[in-house]
Structure 1
């Protein structure tokens, strides 16, 4: 296998998934959670992202074509979902829900960011899914698929490791710093979600 392809695939997935940029986002989405809960959320989010990315590497183009969904439409849908998450971060809805709980045992089981929005669409977002489809298409066959999956697993391993040390980052920032970062990231997420939607609409020729 061409070493240049391996390096290109790693750089592509690393930049798109952005493990470094994902870490403060993980802190903001898991505020108030225990170390064990964060470890569980990190593991689930990376595992679900691995399954989704693997599925799209193997059958992505066939799945979208079969159900009649284009990648621009997928990008618009991901942008809308991400915008809803940004609103929760901006208006502290997640924190308010936690404050209403009597304790950890009474935590809302639906208030779990591991699958949404961490695994989908933040880690396994439209860009990452499209990249998996393009990379496997660039080198068809078992060898190309194996290399692409190996590179993807390496990037997800970095994401998981950074998630594990996220509590250190939270302690360094403090409560006030975490509140500020949460608001800033909420704004950035809102802008990113709008960009997803605009890119999808531009592909349809609706916006530029």
Structure 2
């Protein structure tokens, strides 16, 4: 059980990437007062939590309503996670890419900053949405297991919130280079998990046929 929980923590940490979110947060809130920064961080994490909880609760029901078997979604999710991981490893790092995408939003309201790019796609990324559905498969995990997964997800989001509260100090400590290194290492770990999900999805799909 401990190894399963640890694996889930690593997966959710990789796809949510709290440390990689710090430079994005700093780039979008440099012009704000300290109180406004905290408000943006709270709103961003709250929105991300709501989005991911929605996928945790209703994601599988939506798939089944569309008659998409979960093994197929698991394989597709594994493929998407793999592509996401490869961009983390070989492409521009998360801080660099998302900061460029969002430079034009510096004059937006605080709520807009919290939604984009912080909540989506930085914290509640497509990879995180895919991962939470796969980690709470109703056919493979009991309700108690899913509640523990939800608890781990909330723990990672709380860590993200605390990191955003201390973003200035953290960025001074690790710098952009440190954030990029950590992001690429997490991408490598995520790639291994993604390949496993892809292969398991293919295996389960053919066994179910």
- TM-score relative to the length of structure 1: 0.63
Distance 1:93 1:160 in 2: 24
SS at match of 2:112: coil
Q: Structure 1: where are the runs of 5+ without partners? A: 98-107, 189-202, 204-208
Distance 2:123 2:67 in 1: 24
Aligned twin of 1:40: 39
**Contact kept? 1:16, 1:127, Cα under 8 Å:** yes
Aligned twin of 1:146: 147
Aligned twin of 1:120: 120
Aligned twin of 1:164: 165
Q: Structure 2: where are the runs of 5+ without partners? A: 88-93, 184-197, 199-209
Aligned twin of 2:206: none
Over 3 Å off, 4+ runs: 64-73, 84-89
Is residue 19 of structure 1 aligned with residue 9 of structure 2?
Answer: no
Aligned twin of 2:202: none
Aligned length: 161
**Contact kept? 1:17, 1:124, Cα under 8 Å:** yes
Deviation at 1:111, TM superposition (A): 7.0
**Contact kept? 2:18, 2:160, Cα under 8 Å:** yes
Deviation at 1:61, TM superposition (A): 2.5
Report 1:1-208 matches (<5 A): 2-64=1-63, 66=65, 87-89=100-102, 92-95=103-106, 97=107, 108-109=108-109, 112-137=112-137, 139-169=140-170, 172=172
Instruction: Decide whether aligned partners of structure 1 residues 43 and 110 sit closer, same or farther in structure 2, where only a CA change above 3 A counts.
Output: closer
Distance 1:67 1:139 in 2: 20
SS at match of 2:136: helix
SS at match of 1:161: helix
Distance 2:113 2:67 in 1: 29
- TM-score relative to the length of structure 2: 0.62
Distance 1:43 1:110 in 2: 11
Q: RMSD of aligned C-alpha atoms?
A: 3.7
Deviation at 1:62, TM superposition (A): 2.4
